[in-house]
């Protein structure tokens, strides 16, 4: 069992930057390296959308096309933290951003653990 809390969202102008953080609280006998970590986002009326993922030890990252060259995912296993650095933000990036964790998969359908979400609003 892992409890995820994400923060760092807010209001930013188009072209600006934000860094989202997600802190994982684990059981005494759990290790953060057990989990692949990722970020998803969702706007009203649309499905929750994959943004970026990072493997258990940080050896591989993947970013969706809309975020390529703008967003970077990273993790610090010593701190049980995962981050999403977002640069060159666009109004269409406005969404609630969710931290996600799973031992095997980061597909929307298979993720077992979600954070509560943090709002990102990009003004034009």
How confident is residue 111, by pLDDT bands cut at 50, 70 and 90? very high
Handedness of CA 118, 37, 111, 94 (dihedral sign): positive
What's the whole-number average pLDDT of the chain?
96
Q: Is the pLDDT of residue 4 over 90?
A: yes
Q: Does 1 score more than 90 pLDDT?
A: no
Token digits of residue 81? 């933290």
Contact 100, 38 (CB under 8 A): yes
Per-residue pLDDT band for 71 (boundaries 50, 70, 90) equals very high
**Residue 31, SS3 per DSSP:** coil
Query: What would the pLDDT profile of 73-83 be if each residue is shown by its tens digit?
Result: 999 999 999 99
What is the tens place of the pLDDT at every residue in 5-61?
999 999 999 999 999 999 999 988 999 999 999 999 999 999 999 999 999 999 999
As a residue count, the chain comes to 124
Q: Which of 102, 96, 94 is nearest to 116 (CA)?
A: 96
Give the tokens for residue 70.
């703008």
Rounded distance, CA 67 to CA 60, Å?
A: 16
* Coil vs helix vs strand at 34: helix
In percent, how much of the chain has pLDDT > 90?
96
Buried-state track 76-99, b at ≥16 Cβ within 10 A, e below 16: ebeebebbbebeebeeebbbbbbb
């Amino acid at each position: 069992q892992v409890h995820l809390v994400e923060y760092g969202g807010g209001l930013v102008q188009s072209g600006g930057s934000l860094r989202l953080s997600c802190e994982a609280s684990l059981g005494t006998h759990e290790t953060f390296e057990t989990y692949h970590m990722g970020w998803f986002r969702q706007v009203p009326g649309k499905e929750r959308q994959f943004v970026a993922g990072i493997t258990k030890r940080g050896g591989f990252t993947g970013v969706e096309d809309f975020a390529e060259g703008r967003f970077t995912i990273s993790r610090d296993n010593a701190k049980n933290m995962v981050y999403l650095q977002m640069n060159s933000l666009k109004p269409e990036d406005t969404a609630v951003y969710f931290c996600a964790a799973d031992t095997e998969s980061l597909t929307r359908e298979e993720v077992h653990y979600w954070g509560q979400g943090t709002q990102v609003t990009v003004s034009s």
